Amino acid sequence: QVQLVQSGAEVKKPGASVKVSCKASGYTFTSYYMHWVRQAPGQGLEWMGIINPSGGSTSYAQKFQGRVTMTRDTSTSTVYMELSSLRSEDTAVYYCARPKAPMVRGVYYGMDVWGQGTTVTVSS
Amino acid sequence: DIVMTQTPLSLSVTPGQPASISCKSSQSLLHSDGKTYLYWYLQKPGQPPQLLIYEVSNRFSGVPDRFSGSGSGTDFTLKISRVEAEDVGVYYCMQSIQLPQTFGQGTKLEIK
């Protein structure tokens, strides 16, 4: 079955970086984009960016430009999301999520498979 | 960015009664391929979101038929014909016609 398994919870100090992994299984890794979405405590869902696991190209939400880097390792079917210069407002659950359908030029699909979430706590 | 606006932000419903959530987008979600990229999710406490409806009105696999979606262009609605206790959580609409993908604020459904 299709599955996304994320790395464990992290506690970081302000100014540090965090790198969250998301290992995919049960489908052709390079055929589907991967999204990252976060949710601060008690808040809604916030889209952070997308990576094309085939070529590695990315697109980030303007809010995170310059602080977020999404990468992939096709040998292990894993995508990574690194967020730098952490501040308390980055305390959140971070999700990877796979779109419902394979990549099609010019089309972005909504997500149907989500990782379990990774809690990142930023505190001094 | 496309702004997604949901109403109401909270609902309290008696089991067996219907419920309806509205979602309006600041731009049309109709793509040149003829599809409308509007999705509905339910997030239960402590869980990631789960897909309920895709492309306005298509129920995702395993979703009970008491859930239905409708709408076009910029105005969309999620309806639950008869609310059950397991339907509690926060409902989100989301657009994927363009990046950044954006979500509504969420509608919290509770049972009376």
The tens digit of pLDDT for each residue in A20-47 reads: 999 999 999 999 999 999 999 999 999 9
Cβ proximity of A67 and A46 under 8 Å:
no
Residue B28, number of CB atoms within 10 A of its CB = 13
Chain B residues within 8 A of A35 when measuring between CB atoms: 101
Q: Taking a contact as any Cβ pair under 8 Å apart, which residues of chain A between 91 and 110 contact chain B?
A: 95, 97, 99-100, 106-110
Q: Taking a contact as any Cβ pair under 8 Å apart, which residues of chain A between 28 and 57 contact chain B?
A: 35, 44-47, 50
Residue A54 vs residues A79, B5, B60, B69, B98: alpha-carbon distances, Å: 11, 34, 26, 33, 20
Chain B residues within 8 A of A106 when measuring between CB atoms: 32-33
What is the C-alpha to C-alpha distance for residues B50 and B90, in angstroms, rounded to an integer?
10
Cβ proximity of A68 and A52 under 8 Å:
no
Mean pLDDT, to the nearest integer, of A103-109?
89
Predicted local confidence at residue A106, as pLDDT? 85
* Tokens, residue A44: 């809604």
Predicted local confidence at residue B75, as pLDDT? 98
Q: Enumerate the β-bridge partners of residue B107.
A: B91
Tell me the count of A-B CB pairs closer than 8 A.
62
- The DSSP 8-state label assigned to residue A86 in this structure reads -
pLDDT tens digit at each of 112 positions of chain B? 999 999 999 999 999 999 999 999 999 999 999 999 999 999 999 999 999 999 999 999 999 999 999 999 999 999 999 999 999 999 999 999 999 999 999 999 999 9
Predicted local confidence at residue A87, as pLDDT? 98
Q: Tell me: the pLDDT tens digits for A4-25?
A: 999 999 999 999 999 999 999 9
Cβ proximity of A20 and A120 under 8 Å:
yes
Q: What is the mean pLDDT of chain A?
A: 97
Q: Which residue of A has its CA nearest to B9?
A: A44
* Tokens, residue B46: 């402590």
What is the C-alpha to C-alpha distance for residues B21 and B31, in angstroms, rounded to an integer?
23
What is the C-alpha to C-alpha distance for residues A69 and A84, in angstroms, rounded to an integer?
9
Vertex B80 angle, CA B76 and B83, to 5°: 150
Residue A8, number of CB atoms within 10 A of its CB = 8
Inter-chain residue contact B39 with A110, CB threshold 8 Å: yes
Predicted local confidence at residue B107, as pLDDT? 98
Partner residue facing A47 (CB), from B39, B41, B101: B101
Strands B10-13 and B107-111: parallel
Nearest partner of B25 among B33, B36, B11, judged by Cα? B36
Residue A57 vs residues A21, A47, A53, A87: alpha-carbon distances, Å: 17, 17, 8, 26
